Structure 1
Amino acid sequence: MQADRLHLDDLHVGQRFVSATHTIDKTQIRTFAAQFDPQLFHTDEEAAKSTLFKGLAASGWHTAAITMRLNVEGGLPLAGGIIGAGGEINWPAPTRPGDTLHVESEVIEVTPSRSKPDRGIAVIVSRTINQRGEIVQTLTAKLVVPRRATG
């Protein structure tokens, strides 16, 4: 499985990847929120109607977790796994029950390490998009990616 994974040396600016999809439902939203983000607009469909969201919405952290799973399962095939070294996340639109999400990722920077020749940093923008083409999350991540062994 690792043989088809990409090393830093395989990446280039502008390279793109697309994940599979995940459809989220009310039960997933409420279950995740009950454990990790127990706010009414994530846990109570009726109470959510009178909030900023005007209805049940997934936690941004739930959207982030789905994004991670979609990338790990093939959306971002990096050797050594997806290892974060920092980043920025934005949620321009809520994720709703019934949304089918996929992730489109793009390499925007590739920098070999000067002090650690066995790795480098790839900056990747991952946009999580629903079935209506709306971006529900943008993650710009600095990822540690191994280089190919030489010799």
Structure 2
Amino acid sequence: MQYYEDVEIGTTAEYGEYRITKSEIIEFAQQYDPQPFHLDEDAAAESAFGELVASGWHTASVCMRLLVDGYVQDRASMGARGVDELRWKRPVKPGDTLSVRTEVLDKRVSESDPRRGYVETRIEGVNQDGDVVISWIAHGMIERRNPN
């Protein structure tokens, strides 16, 4: 288990691999983001994307799963305080395979609760060609091993 004291600024890592399918793009969109370019190939062909693409929220959800499986599960995570600079940089298409990259940008001990620390991490979702498709800065909370 990795605690706040174990986190080093500048550390980078890559996690996971997940292939996006046409059926799950449509299924996610039907439930959470029913815009035509996520639901219908003909409508998508007439859109700015020119083809069916995943919802940005679908992309974020896939990346979150990869983060939990590869990054969060080995840390004394206490959740997060939010995100900054969320950007959808490229559309995700059926057949794309996503992975995530992380870089620890900063860390500090909580002034209000010495049992936890705050860790700022840049998260990037990357496709099979190495293109960044989504990015954000996460403001995580992590338990301190020795809060005194």
Query: Structure 2 length as normaliser, TM-score?
Result: 0.93
Gaps of 5+ in 2: none
- Correspondence 1:72-151 to 2 at 5 A: 72-76=68-72, 77-80=74-77, 83-88=79-84, 89-149=86-146
Superposition misfits of 4+ residues, deviation over 6 angstroms: none
Gaps of 5+ in 1: none
Whether the 8 Å CA contact 2:116–2:147 is kept in 1: the answer is no
For 2:46, give the aligned amino acid.
S
The answer for the alignment partner of 2:56 in structure 1 is 60
The answer for the alignment partner of 1:8 in structure 2 is 4
RMSD: 1.4
The answer for the alignment partner of 1:39 in structure 2 is 35
Query: Structure 1 length as normaliser, TM-score?
Result: 0.92
The count of aligned residue pairs is: 146
- Correspondence 1:15-26 to 2 at 5 A: 15-26=11-22
In structure 1, how many angstroms separate the alpha carbons of the residues matched to 2:129 and 2:117?
A: 36
In structure 2, how many angstroms separate the alpha carbons of the residues matched to 1:145 and 1:113?
A: 10
In structure 1, how many angstroms separate the alpha carbons of the residues matched to 2:11 and 2:124?
A: 14
Whether the 8 Å CA contact 2:105–2:120 is kept in 1: the answer is yes
In structure 1, how many angstroms separate the alpha carbons of the residues matched to 2:134 and 2:147?
A: 37
User: Percent identity between the aligned chains?
Assistant: 38
SS of corresponding position for 2:77: coil
For 2:80, give the aligned amino acid.
G
Q: Deviations over 1:86-136 (max 9, x none)?
A: 112101101111000000001000111122110011000010000011100
Q: Deviations over 1:53-95 (max 9, x none)?
A: 11111000000000110000013432136x1201121011011
In structure 2, how many angstroms separate the alpha carbons of the residues matched to 1:106 and 1:142?
A: 12
In structure 2, how many angstroms separate the alpha carbons of the residues matched to 1:68 and 1:150?
A: 28
Whether the 8 Å CA contact 1:20–1:75 is kept in 2: the answer is no
SS of corresponding position for 1:114: coil
Whether the 8 Å CA contact 2:119–2:141 is kept in 1: the answer is yes
